Amino acid sequence: MFCKKLFFYNLIFFSLYAQEDLKYQVPPKAILDLIDVTMPPRVLVDDNKNYMIYLYRDTYKAIEELSEKEMRLAGLRINPKTNIGSRVSYYNNIKISSVVNSLSKIYDVKGLPKNPRLSNVKWSPDQTKIAMTNTTKEGVELWVLDLKSSKLKRLTGPKLNANLGSVINWFKDSKSLLVKFVPLKIQPIIMEDDLIPSGPRISTNDGKKAQNRTYQDLLKNKNDENNFEILAMSELYKVSIKGKKRLWKKKNMHRDISFSPDGSYVLVSTIKKPFSYLVPYYRFPSTYIIHTASSKEVKRLASIPLIEDLPKGFMAVREGKRSFKWRLDKPASICFVSALDNGDPNQEVQFRDELFQLDAPFKSNPVTLLKTQNRYYKSSWCNDTLAIVSDYWWNNRNQKTYLFNPSNPSKESLVISDRNYQDRYSDPGDFVEERNRYGEYVLLLRNKNLFLIGDGFSADGQFPFLDELKIDTFKKKRIYESTIEGKKESLRDFNPDDNKLFVRIESPNEYPNYFFRNLDGELNQITYFANPFKSIQNVHKEVIKYKRADGLDLSATLYLPDGYNFSQKEKLPMIMWAYPREYKDKSSASQMTKNPNQFTYPYAGSPLYWLTRGYAVLDNVAFPIVGEGNKQPNDDFRVQLVSNAKAAIDKVANLGYVDIDRIAVGGHSYGAFMVANLLSHSNYFAAGIARSGAYNRTLTPFGFQSEERNYWEAPQVYYNMSPFMHADKLESPILLIHGEADNNSGTYPLQSERYFNALKGLGATARLVMLPKESHGYRAKESILHMLWEQDTWLEKFVKNKKEIN
């Protein structure tokens, strides 16, 4: 009898204090009203600015959708019934407006499917049509929208295979598409629960180093291998816009597909065996083959082996050909890169990479176009005599941009930019592009001038700009600089033929809208999206600047509730939200890249909701971690972390708006890691909120975030940075939230579970909330509402009403 009573008592105890059987909750109405809004659509614009396409979607998924059957294989998450990613975001409506005829009239699209779930949106080469997929309960269909008639038409039934992406690709005549289909004959999927084990799973190593990050959703056994192969298999069909199908290529694990600019050739990559249990599918063996547009094999470019091991370092790449891309200004020339240092960043060489070109009919040897001093990054093509290539090197944050003559590789290239890519003040901007006769985007060149659009960050604020670069003298001329007061203007495109900019303008309480701006000053609005967040449109917003103890300039965005009385200066509870970033120099780390005129947008994970609950919010707080020269940023991570926090708190304390005894700190992912460290190594905060973090760095022994040293090279760094190792020092209450299906490298759910168990064992005040079906970012509306309820309840108890508790 005594044992039964003790057992019953234990059940009650653990139901009250260990676990809670809690249904999904919703936050207070003030927060709920900011969630239950209809968001303006995503906007697509054709190159000639004749049409604007409005794509609408629900802001959040339903937990029912996340609960659909899902297979996690080789880094992918797949719905095996529909053959598309299980976490794809879908559009549920489309509308069109004609920029030329009438901007006041937005037309409904005719022929929308019932309960649309649209994705994989792709313009036709002539930009008169848009192809897309529609996902039904049975599978994925192909649909095409004709812009002139505003009519959407279904071309195929639910048989497409979108598991590996690149599911639809237009032929250059805009009359047909190359489409991936589920093979007609295919083996059934065998679910893990249906298997009876025939033996243990065994992994071996032959002494070769394979230092990989902690990838998630990897293959685990032979059944996983079989299922991956089945789900990756597709047949390629040529489908006309009238719906006629013709087999183009038999079944294979087709991955990426791209047409040559003139449409006469198609580059297709396929995945091969053996598969791996250590790395995702994109590091499995693969082949790259060029075919004619009629599917005849022309050239086998490369056979890439399994990539389980690479040299040490973030800049390590595999040996051999890589980065296969068509040269966009030529009819059919393929370009690729090869490492000159065997892919090993620790080798001392003059040049790291070499860029090659191979012309149709691909029977000659490739020719060298350029050698780069850093690792190749990207190419921008213009014509036979003008092209631009950029490289980068992570270790010193250097980026070089080369201008060269691709028809005369012996002529030395010219470095037109050599800079620290984290230095936003010196950013020259991005080159303006235009569509050429092949429908591909190349550098826009007029009268020997190129054009650059830049963000325009500076010590005095943000002033987006348009520059003209003369390619014969390399002198720059500023054509336009935004000086619009009280608003943020983003330059999106430029047409030098009519001196017209396509821009987006917003303010803290005005939702971003699109405009045409003539360089003479005339401004014409073309969209009229209203602010969906009316209840916070009048909150106070300002960018504050301050210094860290070592003199480093820092900044943050401070928000105060609507109607805050500045004369009385009531001291409010405050939420500080941040994310640490690593730098190699103090100059870049101190730059101010916050614009007070940016629209105030409370995204799902934002702290801005608590402005409606009487809190001050310090958002986007600068948390730089600097390691100059040979010193790595993480060598004194904790010291700089605490110093960043103290500088921000000292600043708000001096302003007089905040009760410094009632400050919470919050963050997501690496921001959660920051929160746990701050609560362990400082006494500045009343409580913390840590979402989807990693807390034990020894569980990510081969590097994390920007740390490329492994655990055995820097054990003290891993130890010092791990909040798990210092759980006994945590005194402020901490709320841990994590998605049960987190797929982010290093932040697997075990991190939060083990950290909570340590805190519990040490008697800390902690709460662990595991959100069912959620990944690293939370998608279901039920999950997001519950997360907000948890955060609000935590803040009300341990921050706002802290004095009452004490």
- From the list 124, 176, 588, 669, the catalytic residue is 669
Question: What residues are paired with 502 via a beta bridge?
Answer: 493, 516
Distance, CA of 270 to CA of 234 (rounded, Å): 10
What is the C-alpha to C-alpha distance for residues 52 and 126, in angstroms, rounded to an integer?
A: 15
In whole angstroms, give the CA distance from residue 85 to residue 78.
4
Q: Indicate the SS3 state at residue 31.
A: helix
For 328, the token pair is: 């966009």
Residue 634 near residue 716 (C-beta atoms within 8 A) = no
How would you list the strands of the sheet with 616-621, edge to edge?
540-547, 553-560, 616-621, 572-578, 658-668, 687-691, 734-739, 766-771
Query: What token pair was written down for 372?
Result: 């780069």
> Which amino acid makes up residue 560?
L
Q: Got the DSSP string for 362-428? A: --S--EEEEEESSEEEEEEEEETTEEEEEEEEGGGTEEEEEEE-TT-TTSPPEEEEEEETT-GGG--
Residue reference for tokens 């230095």 = 423
Query: Structure tokens of 308?
Result: 């389980």
- Write down the residue that tokens 């005339």 correspond to: 522
The answer to whether residue 254 is catalytic is: no
Instruction: Output phi, psi for 130, to 5 deg.
Output: -135, 125
Amino acid (one-letter) located at 577: W
Q: List the catalytic residue out of 776, 783, 786, 792.
A: 776
Contact 548, 618 (CB under 8 A): no
Distance between CA 690 and CA 679 in Å, rounded? 11
Please say if 776 is a catalytic residue. yes
For residue 322, give every residue at least 6 positions away whose Cβ sits within 8 Å of its Cβ, in sequence order, or none: 304, 336, 337, 338, 339
117 neighbors 92 (Cβ within 8 angstroms): yes
Please tell me the distance from the alpha carbon of residue 575 to that of residue 560, in angstroms, as a whole number.
11
DSSP codes, 633-674: GGGGHHHHHHHHHHHHHHHHHHHT-EEEEEEEEEEETHHHHH
Pairing type for strands 168-170 and 93-98 reads: unpaired
Active site residue 619: no
User: Residue 62 is encoded by which pair of tokens?
Assistant: 């339903």
User: Distance (Å, rounded) from C-alpha 100 to C-alpha 45?
Assistant: 12
* Selected catalytic residue, list 738, 742, 752, 786: 742
Per-residue burial over 224-233, b if 16 or more Cβ lie within 10 Å, else e, is bbebbbbbbb
Catalytic (active-site) positions: 669, 742, 776
